[in-house]
Amino acid sequence: MIYSMTGYGRAEQTIADKTFLVEVRSLNGKQFDLRLTIPALLKPYEFEVRSTLSEQLERGSVECIIYLKQNGAAKPVSINTDLAKGYYQPMAQLAKELGIETDNILSTLLKLPEVITPVTDVLSEEDYKGFEGILKEAINQLTKHRGEEGKVLEADLQGRIKAIEEQQKVVTELEPLRRTKIKEGLVKVLEDNVGKENYDPNRLEQELIYYIEKIDISEEQVRLTNHCNYFRDILKGKEKSKGKKLSFILQEIGREINTTGSKAYDSQIQQAVIIMKDELEKAKEQVLNVL
């Protein structure tokens, strides 16, 4: 089974008087790239949150947003009385000089900068353990989504490899005919240019053997078969992250297809090679999404 790098997960739960909502979404990426939005309450645990996401998700461009609701509870604040007194004296003096009533001066003082500041609350370790369960549930939902996407990717990749192997069978069937065509072509050239009686048939056979060995594609076909089988073995393996390995194998498959095409000297084999290249490129595009 393979996993896609694309997925979405969501989990929400109340701990004490706080409700946490965690949303995690991921797209394909070469490495693990995390964009994390976290409330101040969880700042002391940011490293642990990042580590959990990295260990569980492994690869991809990941965005995690953590929302916090106080469930209607008043948020604790601190009043800087010394600063308020410092503001009050000149304000009262100014009001006296201007003949203005000071009945509403308190409400004005409370609106001035830094007079009222929120108290920074920190989540207890016990409550954080409860939050970890919410985070892991969101990750599990994302992983499940990745698995569903992975089934579609796997079916597509299996089809691409099968299509390459079908064209490889075509090449294998055409290979004996190709050798005959090459021999007949060379003989015709010699007969047309030097005459049938003016060349040594034994020497021709020796040259043909040397030439055909140079353009032999049997080794490429054996390696191509091995690479395709190995690709399938990796798809079936238990390893969770397979994208990079599958990409490397496709590079090797491409190398054997290209060499076959460069040695072919046969229009029908070239047509089969073009189809194989097309299937290979589509497989490479899909592997970019594999975890």
**pLDDT tens string 6-18:** 999 999 988 877 8
Position 115 scores a pLDDT of: 65
Per the CB < 8 A criterion, the answer to whether 7 and 53 are in contact is: no
Position 230 scores a pLDDT of: 93
- Give the angle subtended at the CA of 56 by the CAs of 54 and 57, to the nearest 5°: 70
Ranges of residues in the chain with a pLDDT under 50 are: none
- Dihedral, CA atoms, 146, 147, 153, 159, nearest 10 degrees? 180
Per the CB < 8 A criterion, the answer to whether 82 and 50 are in contact is: no
Per the CB < 8 A criterion, the answer to whether 161 and 232 are in contact is: yes
Position 120 scores a pLDDT of: 57
Position 96 scores a pLDDT of: 75
Letter for the amino acid at 32? Answer: F
Per the CB < 8 A criterion, the answer to whether 262 and 216 are in contact is: no
Instruction: Look up residue 283 and give its two tokens.
Output: 């497989």
Q: How many residues does the chain have?
A: 291
Position 173 scores a pLDDT of: 83
Long-range contact set of residues 87-92: C-beta below 8 Å, sequence gap at least 24: 87/112, 87/115
Report the alpha-carbon distance of residue 38 to residue 129 in Å, rounded.
16
Position 52 scores a pLDDT of: 92
Neighbours of 157 (CB within 10 A): 21
pTM of this structure? 0.69
